[in-house]
């Protein structure tokens, strides 16, 4: 998660978007991006990993409705929206979807900002010139381009079949708006990653495509969650090391912790099927059934290979619900 606060930092001028280079009103479009500041209780499940104060961005997509990335508002007790004209307004964490990574905030007052229309992320092409919009207008936004669209697997049991990757990267990426050539919203910023290109490393942003929002938006707006069976969750952070899936962390109170799995364990198979990649592991895990299903794993630990069965759970049951206003 980005750690920058709502201060007077600016994107270097060479990377800022210039109004005359786009076929839409850049300043009007960027005015729909707001700052977001969340306060989370010290005893919240995500407090240790994500912090108790989270700062990022959000995009107005309907009257009073702000779209952001879910980790900024998960278990938030208080949400403040920072508008470009200096106003600060309280918001309500309406809900989030762990599958896509989107979160919604309801402003508890009149934003008086024009909503940004939802575009088509599937229509966006590699090489397209885009703007990564941050709260504060052009000086806090980045003129960027789409480098690649490809699968993304996150260590926290998260998978996108096709994420969008852009560069140059926005330094305060969480909840930024990916703005397409027509001035519409085609994604929400999630991460900054490092990749090798031409023998040197560079930073890119991983963007969650807006097309993933459209089937779940009505549920999020009305119920705060998506009406689908919860995926089985293990509370096991993992990464690929060569051709092996290695455990790099264990969530407290999760199924992996109860089964006494350890950092450094190697996951060899799930239900007898060999693990070939992190993405394949997630797909096999979720194919076993809904949250609560038993998950048989074959694990290698310090020279010993053994089988263990984890009783999966619904991660949402460990989270604090949003505070009602």
CATH of the domain at 200: 2.40.10
**Which one of 170, 200, 223 terminates a domain?**
223
Q: Are residue 204 and residue 246 in the same domain, yes or no?
A: no
Report helix, strand or coil for 299: strand
Do the domain assignments include residue 241? yes
Do the domain assignments include residue 11? no
Alpha carbon 303 to its chain centroid, in Å, reads 36
Q: Are residue 100 and residue 167 in the same domain, yes or no?
A: no
Asked if pLDDT for residue 307 goes beyond 80, the answer is yes
Q: Find the mean pLDDT for residues 163-167.
A: 98
Distance CA 133, CA 147 (A): 17
CATH of the domain at 249: 2.30.42.10
Closest by CA position to 80, among listed 116, 45, 43, 34:
34
Do the domain assignments include residue 2? no
What is the structure's pLDDT at 197? 73
Do the domain assignments include residue 136? yes
Q: How confident is the model at residue 201 (pLDDT cuts 50, 70, 90)?
A: confident
**Which one of 179, 212, 245 terminates a domain?**
212
Q: Find the mean pLDDT for residues 59-78.
A: 97
What is the structure's pLDDT at 5? 43
Do the domain assignments include residue 5? no
**In DSSP terms, which residues pair with 38 in a beta bridge?**
54, 79
Dihedral sign for Cα 19, 25, 28, 31, please: negative
Asked if pLDDT for residue 65 goes beyond 70, the answer is yes
Q: How confident is the model at residue 322 (pLDDT cuts 50, 70, 90)?
A: low
Q: Find the mean pLDDT for residues 91-120.
A: 97
Q: Find the mean pLDDT for residues 139-145.
A: 97
The CB-side HSE value for 241 (13 A sphere, CA atoms) comes to 10
Do the domain assignments include residue 199? yes
Q: How confident is the model at residue 323 (pLDDT cuts 50, 70, 90)?
A: low
Asked if pLDDT for residue 2 goes beyond 60, the answer is no
Counting the structural domains of the chain, the total is 3
For 88, the token pair is 């600060």
Asked if pLDDT for residue 139 goes beyond 90, the answer is yes
Do the domain assignments include residue 17? no
Q: Are residue 108 and residue 139 in the same domain, yes or no?
A: no
CATH of the domain at 70: 2.40.10.10
Quote the mean pLDDT of the chain: 94
Do the domain assignments include residue 259? yes
Q: What angle do CA 32, 168, 132 make, to 5 degrees?
A: 10
Q: Are residue 287 and residue 248 in the same domain, yes or no?
A: yes
What is the span of the domain harbouring residue 135? 129-212
Asked if pLDDT for residue 287 goes beyond 80, the answer is yes
């Amino acid at each position: 998660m980005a750690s920058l606060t709502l201060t007077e930092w600016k994107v270097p001028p060479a990377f800022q978007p210039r109004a005359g280079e786009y076929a839409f009103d850049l300043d009007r479009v960027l005015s729909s991006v707001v700052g977001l500041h969340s306060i989370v209780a010290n005893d919240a499940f995500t407090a240790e990993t994500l912090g108790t104060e989270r700062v990022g961005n959000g995009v107005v997509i309907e009257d009073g409705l702000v779209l952001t990335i879910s980790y900024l508002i998960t278990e938030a007790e208080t949400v403040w929206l920072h508008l470009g004209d200096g106003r600060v307004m309280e918001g309500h964490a309406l809900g989030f979807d762990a599958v896509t990574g989107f979160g919604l905030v309801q402003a508890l007052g009149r934003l008086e900002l024009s909503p940004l229309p939802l575009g088509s992320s599937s229509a966006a092409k590699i090489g397209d010139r885009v703007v990564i919009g941050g709260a504060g207008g052009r000086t806090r936004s980045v003129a960027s381009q789409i480098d690649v669209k490809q699968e993304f697997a996150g260590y926290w049991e998260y998978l996108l079949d096709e994420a969008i990757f852009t560069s140059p990267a926005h330094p305060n990426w969480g909840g930024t708006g990916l703005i397409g050539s027509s001035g519409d919203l085609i994604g929400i910023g999630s991460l900054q990653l490092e990749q090798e290109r031409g023998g040197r490393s560079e930073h890119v942003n991983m963007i969650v495509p807006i097309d993933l929002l459209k089937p779940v938006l009505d549920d999020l707006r009305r119920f705060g969650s998506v009406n689908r069976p919860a995926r089985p969750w293990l509370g096991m952070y993992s990464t690929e090391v060569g051709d092996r899936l290695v455990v790099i962390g264990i969530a407290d109170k999760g199924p992996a912790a109860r089964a006494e799995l350890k950092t450094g364990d190697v996951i060899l198979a799930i239900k007898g099927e060999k693990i070939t990649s992190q993405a394949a592991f997630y797909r096999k895990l979720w194919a076993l059934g809904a949250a609560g299903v038993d998950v048989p794993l074959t694990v290698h630990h310090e020279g010993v290979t053994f089988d263990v069965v984890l009783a999966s759970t619904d991660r949402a049951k460990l989270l604090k619900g949003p505070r009602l206003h």
